[in-house]
Amino acid sequence: MSKVYIFLADGFEEIEALTVVDLLRRARIDISMISITGNIKVTGSHSIGVMADALFEDTDFNDADLLVLPGGMPGTAHLMEHKGLDILLREFHKKNKNIAAICAAPSVLAAKGILTGKRATCYPGFESKMTGSIVEDTDVVEDGNIITSRGVGAAINFSLSIINKLMGKDEALRVADNILYKGYK
């Protein structure tokens, strides 16, 4: 079974994070919500409190197949500043392991050099923060081991792209069909 970790910081975009969690669990992918705040309860950018599954400092990421960064503000800024997450993302990049980021969060990957020479997308207005990447104006971009997406409106396609990456197209289409979503091809 695939193992995915999604990182929550105060000010994360709830739809982007919870859509990923919900759809991956429907695909029977083991996904854990990890708080980088030092508290199990993390508050999203729209004042919705979410109970994470674990704290960053208590988690061993050796079994991870993919890491996910949701966007939102100031959540993205908190992800950028977290020292442990910085080390983890750089290790994943060196090992060419899977990383996904949505909305403003691809800018975190760009700032760490992870998107250098790669095609990517981000929330409109963040293009200038995508240093070294080839920015595309589309909802989801997959380039090798990196998946990026534009934001809330693309959260379902982003999630289905992660499922496709880990479980294959048939599973992504099965989940899309089960939620009556016709926008994934």
Active site residues: 103
Cβ-proximal residues to 4 (8 Å cutoff; 6+ apart), any chain = 24, 29, 30, 31, 32, 64, 65, 66, 67, 68, 162, 166
**Structure tokens, 155:** 């959260």
Pair type for strands 134-135 and 119-120: parallel
- Find residue 34's DSSP bridge partners: 7, 54
- How many CB atoms are closer than 10 A to CB 40? 15
Q: How far is residue 70 CA from its own chain's centroid?
A: 5
